[in-house]
Amino acid sequence: MFAARDDAPEAEAHEGERALLRRARTGDPVAFRLLFERHSPAVWRFLKDSFRDEAAADEATQETFVRAHGRLATLRDEDRLASWLLGIARLVFLEARRSRGVHLDVDGEESEGLVEAVLPTPTPEDLLLDRETEALLTQALGHLTEVRRSALLLRIDHGLPYEEIAQVMGWSLPKVKNEIHRARLQLRERLAAHVGGRS
Amino acid sequence: MSNVCREQDLDALLAGELSLADAERVRAHSETCAACNHALAWLKLERGWMAQRARRMPARPALNFAALEARLAAANAPARPASAPGVASRRSERATPRRRSDWSHRAVMALGAVAAVSFILFSVTQVRPVHSTEELWSQDVLASGLLQACVDPSGEAVAALEDRFSACLIASPAVPTY
């Protein structure tokens, strides 16, 4: 039911990735291609959620990997390749926004006063993400401020630990926890009408 | 939800980030806590939806490694004259700041040249002798015809001139001949 810590498969995957990374650093194009194929879908998804524009996400994904290719030697912690790539992706996103003269939205006030207790409890039937629900989810994510949405997705979509999210976002650890908590409450409030007891 | 069971702990439990002992503790508590059950249901829902969403990745051109290879080739060989269209557009984007910096460099060089020429011209104009107020006064008096120019700096000539007017008229004994 719950995921308890079983390090064996994860460690094996990390070891495989470390080996690929070392080969890519020596200029092995096959290794870099494998890393690209492994991580580019997540990077694209993160950028698409940030821009909310698929074409912009395409361009930014390519730019992210061009930069990553040139800076592989600067990656200190080989176990943090995913968060390193997502950090580059976020920088690319911010630069693109700045070059377009778009200012980042500030933290929203919408979440203030949310009461978790009023939310319905999801049922197992709710777990299926049909097209309608996916559209609703996308809409609900879109109502979050960009920074809050990014922080939340780095956690629930990309599975980054809070410490790595803090690095990617340039925030303190308490702020990361607070923003993700607020983002969750906001998201749940938006989705509440669609889950729990719908039939 | 009490302090014993926080949502972050439940989140970490689902993410497999807890040690076996902590996972057991949080799991045991959550099974008896209604608030934790509620929070867990939402956390599982979010994770489940995100996983399904991730599996529905559309085929995007950005995920084509060949396109990336072209960009990498362009980035590594910026001086090549011909390239693929995608590469060309990228190169033009990259070239713009460089061109801008070339122009600004040239503008600075031109400004420097103008400043140097101005300085030289200014210096040349300053080479002309500037006479003191006294000299100008004496020249004016001489030019008016009231006095003969003291071209002879000898004491006799000066004394003779002063004798004619019974006064010392010229403070400077001589006007330069140049």
What's the whole-model pTM score? 0.67
Residues of chain A with CATH 1.10.10.10: 116-194
- Closest to A89 measured CA to CA, from A27, A157, A182: A157
List the 23-62 stretch of A: residues with Cβ below 8 A of B.
29, 33, 36-37, 40-42, 44-45, 54, 57-59, 61-62
Q: Which residue in the block uniquely carries the two structure tokens 């004496």? A: B138
CATH code for the structural domain at A116-194: 1.10.10.10
> According to CATH, where is 1.10.1740.10 located in chain A?
13-99
Overall average pLDDT of the A81-106 stretch:
87
Q: Classify A13-99 by CATH class.
A: mainly alpha
Kindly state whether residue B170 falls inside one of the protein's structural domains.
yes
Distances (CA, A) of B88 to A9, A67, B61: 43, 18, 17
Residue B149 lies in a domain: yes
Give the Cβ contact number of residue A66 at 10 Å. 19
Residue A104 C-alpha, separation from nearest chain B C-alpha, in angstroms: 23
- What pLDDT, on the 0 to 100 scale, is given for residue A70? 93
Reported as a pLDDT band with limits 50, 70 and 90, residue B11 is very high
Higher confidence at residue A7 or residue B53?
A: B53
**ipTM, two decimals:** 0.83
The proportion of chain A whose per-residue pLDDT surpasses 90, expressed as a percent, equals: 67
Q: How confident is the model at residue A40 (pLDDT cuts 50, 70, 90)?
A: very high
Closest-CA residue of B relative to A180 is: B8
Residue A7's Cβ-count burial label (10 Å; 0-12, 13-18, 19+) is exposed
Give the count of domains, chain B: 2
- The one-letter amino acid at B177: T
Q: Do A126 and B45 touch (CB under 8 A)?
A: yes
What is the domain range of residue B35?
7-57
Rounded Cα distance between A185 and B146, Å, is: 105
Amino acid at residue number B49: W
Give the tens place of pLDDT for each residue, B93-142.
Answer: 444 444 455 566 677 778 888 888 888 887 776 655 544 444 444 455 44
Residues of B in contact with A45 (CB under 8 A): 53-54, 57
> Encoding tokens for residue B113?
């040249």
Q: Is B107 domain-assigned?
A: no
Report the SS3 class of residue B146: coil
Measured CA to CA, the distance from residue B152 to residue A79 in angstroms comes to: 99
pLDDT at residue A3 above 90? no
Query: What confidence score (pLDDT) does residue B110 get?
Result: 81
Please name the residues in contact with B42: beta carbons below 8 A apart, sequence gap of 6 or more: A119, A121, A122, A184, A188
